[in-house]
Amino acid sequence: MKKLVVLSIFLSALFFLSACGGDKEESEEKVEDEIWESIQESGEIVVGTAGTLYPASYYPEGSDELTGYNVEVFREIAERLGVDIKFETMAYDSMLSALQSGRVDIIQAGPREASREKFAFSEPVKYSFSTMIVRADDLSGIHTLEDLKGKKAGGAATTVYSDIARKYGAEVVTYGNVTNDAYLRDVHNGQTDVVINDYYLQSLAIQAFPEFNITLHPDLRFHPTTNNVVMQKEATVLLEKINEIIADMKEDGTLTEISKEFFGGLDVSKETEEEVIEIEGIE
C-alpha cells in the first residue's frame, strides 16, 4: 500500500513537471510565432521596397502597378504563404529601421555582419557582384579600384557599394529615393564620376538611357553579393516557411522564370561563374 502511495506521488509529480515543461515549450513557441501569428491574423504581409530601381522594384512608365524582380518574388512568396501582400515604398536607407520598428514585415537586402546581429536572412534569392557605371569616353579616369581615390561616387549612404567607394578614397554623393536616371545623368554631366552597384541592375539600367555618355566598366568586377529576404530576428517560424518556399521556387524553376523576365533572359538565382575580385574588409 505504501509503495502504491509513493508511486502515485511520483507519477503525480512527473505529470506536473511534464505539464510545466509543456507550458514552457508552448510559451517559447508562442514567442517564436508572434510575428507569423500577426501576419496570419491580419491575412497580410507588409513589404518594404524601393519602387524606383529598375528592374528590381519599379513602376513601368504610365502605370501605377509596382513590379520588378524583387516585387514578383515577394508576390510569389506571399501567395505560397497564403496571405495578401501590401507594399510600402521607401528609400533603401529607411528599410532596416522600418523593419526593426515593425512598420514592415520583410524586405530584400544583402547580409552584413552588423545587420546579421539584428535581423534574420533567408537563403539567397539572387546572386550577383558589383561593377561601376562610368563615363564612356574616358571611363571617368578609373582603370583600377585604386583610381576611385578623389572621385565622386553617387549612391545611398548606408550601402555596401558606398562602403567600397569610401574604402578606396572616393567621396560619396548621397541621394534620396530617386530613380535611376538621377544617378546616371550626374555621371553623364560630370556632377559625379561613378556609380557602384549591382552588375545586373546596372547593365539593364544604362540600356534605358542610350543618350547618356555612360557605360559599364569593361574590366572591373568585384565583391560577390547575394540578395536575401530579411525579417526580424524573432521571426523564426516565418524564416523557416520562407526558406522552404525559396527552395521550392528554385526547384520548380519559378525563380529562374521570374529572373529571365526581368534580367534579359539571365538567371540571377544561380551563382555567377564570372571571375570576381574579393575586397578585403568589405562584408
Q: Give pLDDT tens digits for 135-155.
A: 999 999 999 999 999 999 998
Whether residue 108 sits in one domain with residue 171: no
Read off the pLDDT band of 179 (50, 70, 90).
confident
Residue percentage of the chain with pLDDT more than 90: 71
In a domain, 173, yes or no: yes
Rounded Cα distance between 271 and 257, Å, is 16
DSSP letter for each residue of 105-120? SBEEE---HHHHHHEE
Domain identity same for 217 and 137 = yes
What pLDDT score does 33 carry?
63
- Confidence at residue 159, expressed as pLDDT on a 0 to 100 scale: 86
pLDDT over threshold 90, residue 13: no
Asked if the structure places residue 20 within a domain, the reply is no
Let me know if residue 278 belongs to a domain: no
Note whether 87 and 219 are same-domain residues: no
Same domain, yes or no: 70 and 111: yes
Q: What is the average per-residue pLDDT within 171-198?
A: 92
- Residue 172 reports pLDDT greater than 50: yes
Query: What are the tens digits of pLDDT across the range 160-170?
Result: 899 999 999 99
Does residue 98 lie in a domain region?
Answer: yes
**What is the domain extent for residue 197?**
129-223
pLDDT score of 19 more than 50: no
**Co-location of 65 and 204 in the same domain:** no
pLDDT of residue 272: 85
Q: Alpha-carbon distance 169 to 147, whole Å?
A: 9
Highest mean pLDDT among 20-24, 90-94, 156-160, 224-228: 224-228
Query: Residue 23 burial (CB < 10 Å; 0-12/13-18/19+)?
Result: exposed
Which has the closest alpha carbon to 74: 96, 99, 56, 97?
56
Span 217-246, average pLDDT: 96
**What is residue 184's predicted lDDT score, i.e. its pLDDT?**
95
Cα distances (Å, whole numbers) of residue 16 to 11, 12, 13, 20, 25:
8, 6, 5, 6, 14
pLDDT in tens, 48-63: 999 998 899 999 999 9
For 68: left if phi > 0, alpha if psi spans -120 to 50, otherwise beta; the answer is left
- Where do we find the cell 514585415? 105
CB 142 within 8 A of CB 148: yes
Residues 81 and 49 in one domain: yes
- When the pLDDT of each residue in the chain is averaged and rounded to a whole number, the result is 88
List 283's β-bridge partners, or say none: none
Q: Are residues 94 and 152 in the same domain?
A: no
Going from the C-alpha of 21 to that of each of 11, 12, 17, 26, 137, the distances in angstroms are: 15, 14, 6, 9, 71
In a domain, 110, yes or no: yes
pLDDT at 16 over 80: no
Same domain? For 123 and 232 the reply is yes
Same structural domain for residues 134 and 216?
yes
* pLDDT higher than 60, residue 211: yes
Report whether 260 contacts 267 (CB < 8 A): yes
Return the axis-axis angle of helices 254-262 and 69-81, rounded to nearest 10°. Answer: 150
Question: Measured between alpha carbons, how far is 70 from 233 in angstroms, rounded to an integer?
Answer: 21
Q: Report how many domains make up the chain.
A: 2
The pLDDT value recorded for residue 3 is 41
Rounded Cα–Cα distance for residues 164 and 138 (Å)? 21
Give the model's pLDDT for residue 124.
98
Specify the pLDDT at position 93.
81
Task: Map residue 275 onto helix, strand or coil.
Answer: coil
* Claim to verify: residue 153 and residue 74 sit in the same structural domain: no
CATH of the domain at 115: 3.40.190.10
Listed in sequence order, the DSSP H helices in 43-148 are 69-81, 92-101, 113-118
